[in-house]
Structure 1
Amino acid sequence: MATLSGDVGGIWMDNPVMLAAGILGTTGASLKRAVLSGAGAVVTKSVGVAEREGHRGPAVVQVEGGLLNAMGLPNPSYRHFQEEIDIGRDGGAPVIASIFGSSPAEFVEVARGLDADGFELNLSCPHAERYGAEIGCEVYNVEAITRAVKESSSVPVWVKLTPNVAEISALGLAAERGGADAIVAINTLRAMAIDVESCRPILGNRFGGLSGPAIKPVAVKCVYDLAGAVKIPVIGVGGVSSWEDACEMIIAGARGVQVGTALGNAEGYGIFRSISEGLSIYLDRKDMALQELVGAARRFP
């Protein structure tokens, strides 16, 4: 079968299919299980300087086309998270720590306090005041935070971008100028659900972020645009639930893909191996190497 191993954003992986941040990465056991189930790498739940409880419930609701969530970045703080990363590493694949903060200094503090194989900067959560997209929608902030973490760290730094802007390529270029090793696109779309009987928003936070199949076309377009604008690798995430979805992301320009909401489907953890095996069979059928597939959509007028 076609080989899928290679470098993705400065990190060597047996295959380019990863666990996305925020789904199962709250414990070392879930990280390790994802690796043992075939994930080429895993990304943790986002952690910050201080412990956070997150938003009041309901925090997750199923809607047509996916899930709507407003967790609010609950986490135990980086000071109580290293053990989970270490347990995750026992699986034998890279563990990337997703980190957040309200300023470059906070991002740097978290990065210096954790030992991980890489960092994914959460500059894209759509529903946490003073964090995520609230600061990550500004080009200056993206560049400054990326540079601060990169200069204080010896491991690869990825930047996860928000799609809730007019032009995502400008954010990608800012991350590249700041020294990012890769861009992760995309986080969830700002969205809302209302109960018609009570006439009240369903989520405790009133609005949240939409993930799942409904956002895949948006993610594919963002990956395509970013891959055409930057020289560093792009990692696609958003609605990936099959090898065909992963293939579409790669053809658009992604060097790797992340899987999140689809872990709630019938396959569960088995989705990692299912996607990587499907990709390998596809490449054999096409008589192509994985790298040849990256950005193939741009070769057509």
Structure 2
Amino acid sequence: MMVDGTPMSVDLGGVVLRNPVVLSAGTAGYLDEMSEVLDLARVGGVVTKSITRMPREGNATWRVLPAGVGMLNAVGLANVGVEAFVERMGPRVTGVPCAVIGSAAGFSVEEYVVVAASLDAVEGVKAVELNVSCPNVHGGVEFGSDPGLLRELVGAVRGVVKYSRLFVKLSPVVSGRVGISELARAAVEGCGVSGGPNGRPGADALCVANTIPAMAIDVRTRRPLLANVTGGLSGPAVHAAAVKLVYDVHRRVAREAGVPVIGVGGVMRWEDAAEMILAGATAVGMGTALFADPRSPIGVVRGLERWVRSQGASSVRELVGAVVV
């Protein structure tokens, strides 16, 4: 599939977006909530909440807190379960005026396979994104922190995702001497068995990256502020680190493999999005910004349009990875 030729359209492994701004997983609910306050026809795509096989209540409150120049969350994958999600949202996905990406989560390879296959079967779902920041119940290690586990997972899911593109949302948390580039390579290569619409053995696009582990403590009571004790840090506090991760993945893996990157982490303004694009992101995800201003993506899109013109580029695609070093 090719982009439509307009200056702001981009191609994420065969999923064409009208512009590079995507609403990240966990911030747009089940699509209904965000559509009440933001015209989804103004953004490129939206990622659903991460869906598991069975319903999950998630963690106790408090589970979302401000954290200086960021946000701390430990929601715990609260969701209605894939069966209820498909029943509730499945018939309405085709009416969403932007690309819909279903986020799959799980605690075993088998669970990911079931959820991914169910999302893939929903008409209108353009891609399935694997949230690999989940601990494997058979060993406790996050799928996204171990290249071997990640290859196994991606290979298994690749075999059942027949119609949608497959995205992998990488974790910034690594084990031992493994870096995010090794994890990106594992996600792209999978188990070496090709599949899906693009005939790739692994991911059609990479999302870089998930939240950074963090915590906050009430100094008066000496107790953690989050009921879960620890959570994930997002927002402006992680932006510079996220830009570096995007730069590394693009330069070391994605560019050579021909796999696009979605840059996520502290994108609040158009300048933040432009940084991500220059570092190598084809598209950018917005999450924390939506809690402060649900309509902020519109301003980011407008700012990017002006920036592309000011750079003398004919399209935003020309500026992907165009940082001068």
Calculate the TM-score normalised by the size of structure 1.
Answer: 0.92
CA distance in structure 2 between the partners assigned to 1:89 and 1:4 by the alignment:
22
Q: Does the 8 A contact of 2:23 with 2:286 survive in 1?
A: yes
Where structure 2 has 5 or more consecutive residues not aligned to the other structure, the ranges are 1-5, 191-201
Q: Deviations over 1:121-153 (max 9, x none)?
A: 00125xx67499722211011111112112211
Q: Deviations over 1:168-212 (max 9, x none)?
A: 111000000011001101110000000001001110010000010
Q: How far does residue 28 in structure 1 lie from its aligned partner after superposition? A: 3.0
Report matched runs for 1:125-204 at 5 Å: 130=137, 134-153=142-161, 154-165=163-174, 167-178=179-190, 179-204=202-227
Q: Does the 8 A contact of 1:9 with 1:182 survive in 2?
A: yes
Q: Does the 8 A contact of 2:113 with 2:157 survive in 1?
A: yes
- Tell me what 1:12 maps to: 16
- Tell me what 1:283 maps to: 308
- Tell me what 1:28 maps to: 32
Report matched runs for 1:1-301 at 5 Å: 3-30=7-34, 34-36=38-40, 38-82=42-86, 83-114=88-119, 115=122, 116-124=125-133, 130=137, 134-153=142-161, 154-165=163-174, 167-178=179-190, 179-230=202-253, 231=257, 232-265=259-292, 268-288=293-313, 289-297=315-323, 300-301=324-325
Q: Does the 8 A contact of 2:108 with 2:136 survive in 1?
A: no
1:133–1:277 Cα change, 3 Å: farther
Q: Does the 8 A contact of 2:37 with 2:295 survive in 1?
A: no
CA distance in structure 2 between the partners assigned to 1:175 and 1:242 by the alignment:
29
1:62–1:129 Cα change, 3 Å: farther
User: Is the deviation greater in 19-28 or in 205-214?
Assistant: 19-28
Question: What amino acid does structure 2 have at the position aligned with 1:38?
Answer: R
- Matched positions, count: 294
Question: What amino acid does structure 2 have at the position aligned with 1:169?
Answer: S
Q: What SS class does the counterpart of residue 65 from structure 1 fall into?
A: coil
User: Is the deviation greater in 51-60 or in 34-43?
Assistant: 34-43
Q: How far does residue 27 in structure 1 lie from its aligned partner after superposition? A: 4.4
1:90–1:29 Cα change, 3 Å: farther
CA distance in structure 2 between the partners assigned to 1:221 and 1:256 by the alignment:
15
1:35–1:107 Cα change, 3 Å: farther
Question: What amino acid does structure 2 have at the position aligned with 1:172?
Answer: A
CA distance in structure 2 between the partners assigned to 1:37 and 1:177 by the alignment:
34
CA distance in structure 2 between the partners assigned to 1:293 and 1:3 by the alignment:
11
Q: How far does residue 88 in structure 1 lie from its aligned partner after superposition? A: 4.6
Q: How far does residue 23 in structure 1 lie from its aligned partner after superposition? A: 1.1
1:85–1:280 Cα change, 3 Å: farther
Question: What amino acid does structure 1 have at the position aligned with 2:74?
Answer: A
Q: How far does residue 120 in structure 1 lie from its aligned partner after superposition? A: 0.5
Q: Does the 8 A contact of 1:22 with 1:44 survive in 2?
A: yes
CA distance in structure 2 between the partners assigned to 1:9 and 1:90 by the alignment:
22
CA distance in structure 2 between the partners assigned to 1:13 and 1:95 by the alignment:
10
Percent identity at matched positions? 41
Q: Deviations over 1:76-107 (max 9, x none)?
A: 11000023254354232111000011222211
User: Is the deviation greater in 129-138 or in 146-155?
Assistant: 129-138
Q: What SS class does the counterpart of residue 117 from structure 1 fall into?
A: strand
CA distance in structure 2 between the partners assigned to 1:15 and 1:81 by the alignment:
27
Question: What amino acid does structure 2 have at the position aligned with 1:278?
Answer: G
Where structure 1 has 5 or more consecutive residues not aligned to the other structure, the ranges are none
Q: Does the 8 A contact of 2:136 with 2:143 survive in 1?
A: no
